[in-house]
Structure 1
Amino acid sequence: MVHHPEATGATMKDVAEKAGVSTATVSRALMSPEKVSAATRQKVEDAVTAVGYSPHTLARNSKRSESRTILVIVPDICDPFFSEMIRGVESVAAAVGYLVLLGDCAHQNQQERSFLDLMLTRQIDGMVLLGSQVPFDSTNEEQRALLPMVMANEFAPELDLPTVHIDNLTAAFEAVNHLLRLGHSRIACIAGPQDMPLCQYRLQGYIQALRRSGIAVDPHYIVRGDFTFDAGSRAMQYLMALPEPPDALFCHSDIMALGAMSEAKIMGLRIPQDISLVGFDDIELSRYSDPQLTTVSQPRFEIGREAMNLLLEQLQGKIVNSGSRLLDFELKIRGSTAPSLRDENAR
């Protein structure tokens, strides 16, 4: 008899490919063998032996009704924006005896298979998504049906999930309208990635506010960034080099706004006398900048709490409707915005 060592890297996907079945079928064959045919079960068992896959964790979990563990998928674990949201999730989870695992979607390509295996082997009971990215093929209905999921912060209607977030379009509209009321008319926007739904809504809020005031949207005033300090810095360099630079700036995140603020000071610009800045998120750093940053405050802790509560309801067998749960936002007006000097000089 040939002895196959325990897995040193084989995954359920390897078993599925060897057996010529789906990963979901492998999961059923190993966890609930009565739900598949004898022939399929034999193919899966042979493939397990052939690739050296060790389903010991699966067997252990199948004896229990649940793992008492949930997975939180974070778009970028280095971004301080998500810390309060994660804390909100953990506060609810800890109170009912759940462990929280963090998965970083910034490196999703390398980890996608690991995340999927956690789902298929029932090592997690559910997932909270803090962005629009999911750690599996979202077009695969079989995979989507594996675990209860809730989305927090983002909104992706095509995923048909319970979702907790703010009204990003209205929040952006109010932020830009604040600059307009201060007399600014050359208002630029440092936007986030085009493929992120919340960035699309924030950009629409910016555009609607300008159009409502009769100001034409200048495409040169819209610069894309990736929610980093460097992106804000580079955007500021580009905008201030324009023939007619802006006198105010709306940013899709505080991080990019702070990067822009730093670059403006290097250029010798005074804030808010020469240029007003508005951020988005109200991270802790926004209150310690000089001047303090005017920003849209999101209830990030409450978003996390509400998302985890919705997930718990699903885990308890309750029916939770998909769609949005909107929480309130607040425009925090601080020292980085002031009336336009052009407006003051015209009086």
Structure 2
Amino acid sequence: MATMKDVAQLAGVSTATVSRALMNPEKVSPSTRKRVEDAVLESGYSPNSLARNLRRNESKTIVAIVPDISDPYFSEIIRGIEDAAVEHGYLVLLGDSSHQSHRESSFVNLVFTKQADGILLLGTDLPFNASKAEQKNFPPMVMACEYDPELELPTVHIDNLTSAFEIVNYLTQMGHNKIAEISGPGTAALVNFRHQGYMQALRRAGINMTPIYQVSGDFTFKSGATAMNKLLNMSEPPTAVFCHNDMMAIGAIQEAKRLGFRVPQDVSVVGFDDIVFSQYCDPPLTTVSQPRYEIGRQAMLMMLEVLRGHDVRAGSRLLETRLIVRDSVSAPRLV
């Protein structure tokens, strides 16, 4: 069995440096860390990391709770989390809660039993019931993706209200005044913010809100198609539709085409998120691009600050979005 001394000789460093590189990789230079890692692989050295981490009362593992791991929105966020974690010697355990509280609770137990050091929440639902006063007793926890003002947690997110306003305002500037909204489920905080942005854009353009133009879905392709079917079968259908995410927008486009409508000539469609499919659907989707990789990366870095005992301000670390204009929008047809 190779020893730490063997690794040190291969890497040309001291055993203390090897120990530091393996236990606290952020405290050595990238070049030294790589030499040590290469020497570990070459020698076949296998440090007893579990025993070492138990002595330090840490597992070097983070649990990321994902509401729906099949949703492509989360893929880049998870990649950002993983990259930042690996850079600092951490492992990430993905927990697909499938929106089920009993599954979330089992992931939280990993922290309470010291099998994980902290929790990254990629949705707004807390994995356990707690009053506001009890939040100070939470295990290390950071929210990514969504900001909930009711939870005093460190958060990395975007300005959903302003981003929604900008894309709906773009529709009004293109000449649309019959703009429908396919929203997500009302239980999600971001849905309320995106709806407010939609309403503000209509008010700014002097457009009266039409209640029947507001239809809800559940962020899936199917729900977008179902909602679009309802909108386009109205006696006076909308000329443009703002969808709260790209998956519903893509479903809506496919349903419009199935019903014989042309996109964007007969109805314009916009989404939100800029998932990879949005640029390859027909037509390519106009949407709001979220910096999803950076959301994940910053959430993991914020978690490391929390674990090091730094005073991380509860609330938010706000990242910028971009309006991506593609081919799913045109001026409304003159009738």
CA deviation digits over 1:65-95, x for unaligned, max 9?
A: 2000001111111100000001001000011
1:245 maps to which residue? 237
- Give the CA deviation at 1:120: 1.4
Tell me the amino acid that sits aligned with residue 115 of structure 2.
Answer: Q
Question: Residue 272 of structure 2: SS of its match in structure 1?
Answer: strand
SS in 2 for 1:245: coil
Partner of 1:111: 103
- Deviation string 1:134-173 (CA, Å, 9 cap, x unpaired) is 2111328557624211111101122101111111000000
Residue pair 1:137, 1:143 contacting (<8 A) in 2 also: no
Partner amino acid, structure 2, of 1:245: P
Q: Give deviations 1:281-317, integer Å, cap 9, x for gaps.
A: 0000001011100000000000111111111011112
Is 1:281 matched with 2:273?
yes
Q: Which of the numbers 194, 197, 204 marks the counterpart of 2:189?
A: 197
C-alpha distance in 2, partners of 1:234/1:146?
A: 40
**AA at the equivalent of 2:87:** A
Q: Which amino acid aligns with 2:296?
A: G
Task: Give the letter aligned to residue 118 of structure 1.
Answer: L
Q: Say which is worse superposed, 207-216 or 294-303, in terms of deviation.
A: 207-216
Q: State TM-score, norm by structure 1.
A: 0.79
Q: For the residues of structure 2 that align with 1:324 and 1:117, how far apart are their CA atoms?
A: 26
Distance in 1 between residues matched to 2:234 and 2:136, nearest whole Å: 47
1:307 is matched with which residue: 299, 303, 307? 299
In 2, Cα distance between equivalents of 1:227 and 1:85: 17
- Count of residue correspondences: 286
The aligned counterpart of 1:336 is 328
CA contact (8 A) 1:189 1:222 kept: yes
Unaligned runs of 5+ in 1: 1-57
Tell me whether 135-144 or 248-257 shows the greater mean CA deviation. 135-144
* Match in the other structure for 2:84: 92
Determine if contact 1:108/1:135 at 8 Å carries over to the other structure. no
Partner amino acid, structure 1, of 2:155? T
Residue 120 (structure 1) aligned with residue 107 (structure 2): no
1:316 maps onto 2:278 in alignment: no
C-alpha separation in 2, matches of 1:193 and 1:339: 29
Whole-Å separation in 2 of the counterparts to 1:144 and 1:253: 33
Contact 1:138/1:159 (CA < 8 Å) preserved in 2?
no
Distance of aligned partners of 1:80 and 1:131 in 2 relative to their CA distance in 1, 3 Å threshold: same
Q: TM-score, normalising length from structure 2?
A: 0.82
1:165 maps to: 157
Secondary structure class of the residue paired with 1:70: strand
Match of 1:15 in 2: none
CA separation in 2, counterparts of 1:61 and 1:142?
Answer: 28
List alignment gaps of at least 5 residues for structure 2: 1-49
Q: Distance in 2 between matches of 1:341 and 1:327?
A: 36
Q: Quick one: structure 1 residues 283 and 229, their matched pair in 2 at CA, closer, same or farther if it must change by over 3 Å?
A: same
Amino acid at match of 1:303: I
Contact 2:65/2:104, CA 8 A, preserved across alignment: no
**Equivalent of 1:294 in 286, 292, 313:** 286
- For residues 146 and 84 of structure 1, what CA distance do their matches in structure 2 show? 27
Preserved contact between residue 165 and residue 326 of structure 1 (Cα < 8 Å): yes
Tell me the alpha carbon deviations over residues 27-64 of structure 1, each in whole angstroms, 9 at most, x when there is no partner: xxxxxxxxxxxxxxxxxxxxxxxxxxxxxxx9997544
| Displacement of 1:110 | 3.4
Distance in 2 of aligned mates of 1:169 and 1:140 = 25
For residue 106 of structure 1, report the CA deviation from its aligned partner.
1.6
Q: Alpha-carbon deviation of 1:107?
A: 4.5
**Is the partner of 1:136 in helix, strand or coil?**
coil
Q: Which residue pairs with 2:26 in the alignment? A: none
Identity rate of aligned residues, in percent? 57
Measure the CA separation in 2 of the matches of 1:249 and 1:172. 12
Deviations 1:237-267 (A, max 9, x none): 1001111100000000000000000001101
Which one-letter code corresponds to 1:112 in the other structure? E
Contact 1:69 1:124 in 2 (8 A): yes
Q: Is the 8 A contact 1:136 1:143 kept in 2?
A: no
Off by >6 Å, runs of 4+ in structure 1: 58-61
Q: For residues 113 and 96 of structure 1, what CA distance do their matches in structure 2 show?
A: 27
SS at match of 2:212: helix
Cα drift, residue 115 of structure 1: 2.0
